[in-house]
Chain A
Amino acid sequence: MLKKRIIPCLDVKNGRVVKGINFVDLRDAGDPVEQAQIYSNSGADEICFLDITASNENRDIIFDVVQKTSKKCFVPLTVGGGVRNLEDISKLLNCGADKVSINTAAVENPKVVTESAKKFGSQCIVVAIDAKKKNNKWEVFTHGGRKNTGVDVLKYAKKIEESGAGELLVTSMDRDGTQIGYDNDLMYKISSEINIPIIASGGVGNLDHLVDGIKLGKASAVLAASIFHYGKYSIKEAKDYLDLKGIPVRI
């Protein structure tokens, strides 16, 4: 039986982990390579890097981070943040990323998804959707949640599925950072209408939220950042808890 995945996400800025703290055995809390290894060793099903580097001159640092990580972590590595075109995707894949997540560029230029899926295969193309609720429906936001496109999330998700993306990473902007749980209505709506796997993101504060994302939101995978960074829970604790709640996980 296919297992539900737990994916820790690390925000990386100028090659350093943002918000990463507090592991007893961690020598350098800011080193993404070392953090990724800790996650991988404790049973993370995949690792996700979100590059939030703002300045152009530091944009290439992420390639070095990906290269070093991929030589040490042998679980899938997804990298997103600032991915604009096929050249960016190709560079990340060559550095050892297994999947690349595309956000703003997928909205502004849907051809990026079609062409990259064709060139590199659907398996490595993840489209990240930032969604915000407005009058009982959800709209797509871009530019790190700053710009409202007015595009309906469900229609957009369908279009993306047709473009050949392999997975959708859905983040609720309303829930992100709140620690009150995923927007499971949103996850359920997309998951029940779309046939590619959904990764739920945004709002996790405890382990029950992971359970809800899978049971109520029908997500194939659950992504979380802060609950793992701050050492509130380990990946292993999360997996044991999901297992206890009857969710199939890789233990």
Chain B
Amino acid sequence: MNVTIVDYKSGNISSVINSFEAVAKEKVNISVTSDLNKIKSSDKLVLPGQGSFKSCVDSLKSINGLVDTLNEFAIDKKKPLLGICVGLQMFADIGFEEIETKGLGWIPGKVTKIDNQKGKYKLPHIGWNQIEIIRDSKIFKDIKNNSHMYFVHSYEFIPNDVNTISATTDYSSKIVCSVEKENIFGTQFHPEKSDAIGLKIIKNFIEI
């Protein structure tokens, strides 16, 4: 099986690569590329994302044909895709970081700044927080409710359809931290930095 981490030259993806390589067993090839043909022929895709919503979307668009290839993979072919952090946020129609920016539009909704209640909560939301699993998700197989995951973000994804939400975390309000819509999965937290339990989520995704 070929699992491809999409390298669209945005932010630091070393940790994502390391974690997938640590989990991958025989018969699972992990590759890191922006080559459209390789992406198309993959069985699964990982879409990481660091930096701002706008900078990530701009980077995706800067690679000719990448957005179309991702659409074909996730929407037409319905092959499994995991978005991490801003990778998940880009599933939205629209993001409001820096400037109003269109996302991939795969899961209708918006990305807005976390309401820090006039400074009561520090931003970014950095560190370990517990996730409340509200709906079964394939990536949560054998993951206990209230497990700790590592977060670092200031913006949150608010999907229109609450049925796409698989987990939330508590930081000033219930923040969406995991979504699942058919073959599309996303985590706001960083499974690649969430110790053994995070690696388990990565393993679950590989084994879907």
Interface set of A (CB-CB < 8 Å, partner B): 1-5, 40, 45, 70-71, 74-76, 93-98, 118-124, 166-167, 195-197, 220-221, 250
Contact = CB atoms under 8 A, between A and B. Distances in A.
A1 B129 CA distance: 6
Nearest to A67: B14
Interface residues of B, number: 38
B4 to A, nearest CB: 19
Given A74-B22, A94-B12, A123-B50, A167 B194 contact: no
B135 interface: no
B50 A121 contact: yes
B12 A120 contact: yes
A195 B127 contact: no
Contact of B127 (A118, A119, A120, A220): A220
A166 B123 CA distance: 8
Contacts of A71: 18, 21-22
Contacts of B151: 2
8 contacts: A75-B150, A94-B12, A95-B14, A96-B18, A98-B15, A166-B126, A197-B122, A220-B127
B129 A120 contact: no
Interface centre among A74, A167, A197, A220 (most CB of B within 10 A): A74
Interface centre among A4, A76, A119, A220 (most CB of B within 10 A): A76
B180 interface: no
Contacts of B19: 74
Contact of B52 (A1, A70, A98, A121): A121
A23 to B, nearest CB: 20
Given A70-B18, A93-B12, 17 more contacts: A1-B129, A2-B151, A3-B148, A40-B195, A71-B18, A74-B194, A75-B150, A75-B193, A76-B193, A98-B12, A98-B193, A120-B12, A120-B50, A123-B124, A124-B50, A166-B126, A196-B122
